A and B are shown apart, each in its own frame.
Chain A
Amino acid sequence: MSEMALPTTDKRTKLRIANREFRQELGMLMPALVLLAIFLVVPFLLSFWFSLTNERLVPRPVPASFIGLQNFQRVLSDPSFWNSLWNVIRFTLMVLPIQCGFALLTAVLINQKLPFRNLFRSLLFLPAISSMVIVCVIWSTLYQFPTGPLNSLLQGLTFGLAGPVDWLGDSAWSMPALVLLSAWQAYGFQMIVYLAGLQNISPELYDAAKIDGANAWQRFWHITMPGLKQTHVFVILITTIQAFKLFTQVNILTQGGPDGRTDTVVHYMIHSGFVEQKVGYASAVSIILFVIVLAVSLVQRRLMRDAS
């Protein structure tokens, strides 16, 4: 047997091979880890450090100094911050039923064996691949005051009794207007998730219910809805997290206005950090945002476990 011959060299070659393999593994692993360290871990840790200092975006002659928890105190006692948080919650409460409800409706419809279902599915997914910036261009013309399509539709349907409404400029309507365009842009993703969930429900259940004489509505409530329990939890979670990060639409269309009615946490953070250049202060906001997102995910993980 070969292991009898020259055991020392054999060990050495083995060691050399192991060494070479180790270096190779390191070489393949490092690019990703180094990039993640520099551009994810370091900024994340920096945000904790910055939040305790008065760091500015453009450095001043005087270096930034440690100021303890002052940033957090200021953020939490600023009515504008609470306003932005409340707006995000309002946005979430409005967008959740509209976006998820519409996603479920379309998913159920394209899950039927109807003619042209693939064409319908492709068309209904189109908004989801459109950039939010483009969506803003389109919808701001749809919302035109006083002669945009939505206003003509409103006036036509009510025989001129209602409207015209300055959708994006009216403090009562600006948030619902953002909700509608956001739901239109994003529902396709939830639709696909629901579709995957629907396809996991055994068709035999539906056949059995049909034999028992259950109508379409009963089948939906007693088979489809319970079968989608886990999907619901997941969809609600991702929609909520997305909603808490609301920024692009607000930044382009309303700048948080009118009267701060559409200001959001991320918009507030970018405003204080980028426009007012108070990076320390903005970092405190970003940590609060992180804690909120983390809390939502943890709650979801619990619910997912309970649902399965």
Chain B
Amino acid sequence: MSASTLLQKFGWRRLSRLEIVQLVSLTIIAIVVVSPLIILVVASLKPDRFAILADMGSMRAFWVDDPTLNNYREILSFDGALPFGRYLVNSVFILLTTVTGGLLINSMAAFVLAWGQMRGRAVILSVLIALYIIPQESIVMPLLVLVNKLGMSDGFSAQILPWMASPIYIFLFYQFFKQVPKDIVEAARMDGASLFRIYWSIFVPLSLPVMATVTILLGIDMWNQYLWPMLVTQSDYARPISVAIAGFFGQDTVFWNTAMAASVLMMVPVLVFYLFFQKWFMNSFAGAVKG
């Protein structure tokens, strides 16, 4: 059996010359794009920052002779100089509470706007859509003053409560709920089901796709937040891992070994989710566009 027929057996067809050019370019592009991430992981396994910097200029940046987990051991603690265990737990806690709360309150509000009977729903909806235009960056300074006045600074609530409710997610849920046939809602109403009951036992199970989208978008957003937690955390108590990693910079010497290990630590949870829910990730980002 020749090589080409063997390949065909595995679902390959004969590629045209154009397709071969495309495949080769795609391979090169993918290698170039991914290589910084590979360098990061490899560097985090090197013994110290001198080894990292010495290897950076050559192909040795992609290779480590005797990998060590010492860098990780140095940062994975809950106290001391580099309590990245604590920062990681902080980030996870902030993400989980914001996403759980966000899913609940945004979908509830969207449900009332879509199927409730109170007057003024249309007005509320258009105000929400208008609010969507306000960028986070342009409210952070007054928000900081407000949070300080409310006595919330340097805590978890200041990082969670402001981002739970969001016009864009309410709107995503609203769009989805609106597509549900009217008959379903009417039938449930005739049976005497309360509005919350209709929401909880009919709409919540139906809306798992939107729930997934909101979880991914809000989750990524919370995990990667930098500006706001930087402004609002002064101590290790509630500091998330993003702000902690930025702390490696702006010192006389940057300890690349621990900085690299901390970066990998921050990347791993996202990667794990990404591996399992890839399709959902892509659809969420593309879907948010249409919304």
Chain A positions within 8 Å of B148 at CB level? 57
Nearest-Cβ distance from residue B154 to partner chain A, whole angstroms: 14
Q: Are B242 and A131 in contact (CB under 8 A)?
A: yes
A269 within 8 A of partner (CB): yes
Q: Are B141 and A286 in contact (CB under 8 A)?
A: yes
Q: Mark A43-74, 1 if CB is under 8 A from B, else 0.
A: 11011001000010100000000000000000
A213 within 8 A of partner (CB): no
Q: Given A24-B195, A28-B195 in contact, is the A273-B30 Cβ separation under 8 Å? A: no
A203 within 8 A of partner (CB): no
Chain A positions within 8 Å of B185 at CB level? none
Q: Are A279 and B223 in contact (CB under 8 A)?
A: no
Q: Given A147-B57, A286-B141 in contact, is the A35-B165 Cβ separation under 8 Å? A: yes
Chain B positions within 8 Å of A109 at CB level? 22, 25-26, 29
Which of B78-86, B175-183, B280-288 is the interface stretch? Answer: B280-288
Q: Are B57 and A149 in contact (CB under 8 A)?
A: yes
Q: Are A152 and B58 in contact (CB under 8 A)?
A: yes
Chain B positions within 8 Å of A286 at CB level? 137-142
Chain A residues 108-146 with CB under 8 Å of chain B are 109-110, 112, 114-115, 120-134, 136-142, 144
Q: Are A289 and B138 in contact (CB under 8 A)?
A: yes
A40 within 8 A of partner (CB): yes
Complex-state Cα separation, A111 to B144, whole angstroms: 45
Chain A positions within 8 Å of B271 at CB level? 129
Q: Are B274 and A129 in contact (CB under 8 A)?
A: yes
Chain A positions within 8 Å of B40 at CB level? 134, 137-138
Nearest neighbor of A28 in chain B, beta-carbon distance: B108
Q: Are B195 and A21 in contact (CB under 8 A)?
A: yes
Q: Mark B157-189, 1 if CB is under 8 A from A, else 0.
A: 000011111110010000000000000000000
Q: Are B137 and A127 in contact (CB under 8 A)?
A: no
Q: Are B194 and A253 in contact (CB under 8 A)?
A: no
Chain B positions within 8 Å of A141 at CB level? 39, 43, 52-53, 56, 256
A243 within 8 A of partner (CB): no
B289 in complex: contacting residue of A115, A137, A193, A293, CB < 8 Å: A193
Chain B positions within 8 Å of A18 at CB level? 117
Chain B positions within 8 Å of A247 at CB level? 137, 227
Q: Are A147 and B142 in contact (CB under 8 A)?
A: no
Chain B positions within 8 Å of A144 at CB level? 53, 56-57
A131 in complex: contacting residue of B112, B266, B282, CB < 8 Å: B266
B212 within 8 A of partner (CB): no
Complex-state Cα separation, A33 to B169, whole angstroms: 13
Chain A positions within 8 Å of B285 at CB level? 128, 189, 192-193
Complex-state Cα separation, A121 to B33, whole angstroms: 12
Q: Are A127 and B37 in contact (CB under 8 A)?
A: yes
Complex-state Cα separation, A133 to B248, whole angstroms: 10
Q: Given A115-B23, A125-B282 in contact, is the A43-B57 Cβ separation under 8 Å? A: no
Most buried by B among A18, A32, A57, A151: A32
Chain A positions within 8 Å of B138 at CB level? 44, 47, 286-287, 289-290, 293
B215 within 8 A of partner (CB): no
Q: Are B30 and A124 in contact (CB under 8 A)?
A: yes
A36 in complex: contacting residue of B167, B226, B245, CB < 8 Å: B167
Q: How large is the interface on A (under 10, 10 to 19, 20 to 34, 35 or more residues)?
A: 35 or more
Q: Are A289 and B56 in contact (CB under 8 A)?
A: no
Q: How many chain-B residues does the 8 Å CB contact rule pick out?
A: 96
Q: Mark B25-67, 1 if CB is under 8 A from A, else 0.
A: 1100110011011011001000000001110111001000000
Complex-state Cα separation, A55 to B23, whole angstroms: 59
Q: Given A131-B223, A286-B139 in contact, is the A39-B161 Cβ separation under 8 Å? A: yes
Q: Are B37 and A149 in contact (CB under 8 A)?
A: no
Nearest neighbor of A153 in chain B, beta-carbon distance: B57
Q: Given A133-B226, A293-B138 in contact, is the A24-B26 Cβ separation under 8 Å? A: no
Chain A positions within 8 Å of B166 at CB level? 36
Q: Are B39 and A129 in contact (CB under 8 A)?
A: no
Most buried by B among A28, A130, A286: A28
Nearest neighbor of A108 in chain B, beta-carbon distance: B22
Nearest-Cβ distance from residue A273 to partner chain B, whole angstroms: 4
Q: Are B135 and A25 in contact (CB under 8 A)?
A: no
A282 within 8 A of partner (CB): yes
A195 within 8 A of partner (CB): yes
B246 within 8 A of partner (CB): yes
Q: Are A123 and B33 in contact (CB under 8 A)?
A: yes
Complex-state Cα separation, A202 to B164, whole angstroms: 40
Q: Are B39 and A142 in contact (CB under 8 A)?
A: yes
Q: What are 30 A-B interface contacts by the 8 Å CB criterion? A: A21-B194, A24-B194, A24-B196, A28-B108, A29-B113, A36-B166, A39-B161, A39-B165, A40-B139, A41-B131, A43-B143, A46-B146, A47-B139, A47-B141, A57-B144, A109-B22, A114-B23, A125-B282, A132-B226, A134-B40, A134-B267, A137-B40, A141-B53, A147-B53, A184-B36, A192-B282, A193-B285, A195-B286, A269-B137, A289-B135
Q: Which residues of chain B have a CB within 8 Å of any CB of chain A?
A: 11-12, 15, 18-19, 22-23, 25-26, 29-30, 33-34, 36-37, 39-40, 43, 52-54, 56-58, 61, 104-106, 108-109, 111-113, 116-118, 124, 128, 131, 133-135, 137-146, 148, 161-167, 170, 194-196, 199, 220, 223-224, 226-227, 230-231, 242-243, 245-246, 248-250, 254, 256, 259-260, 263, 266-267, 270-271, 274, 278, 281-282, 285-286, 289-290
Closest 8 CB pairs between A and B?
A32-B109, A46-B142, A39-B162, A35-B165, A152-B57, A28-B108, A131-B224, A286-B138
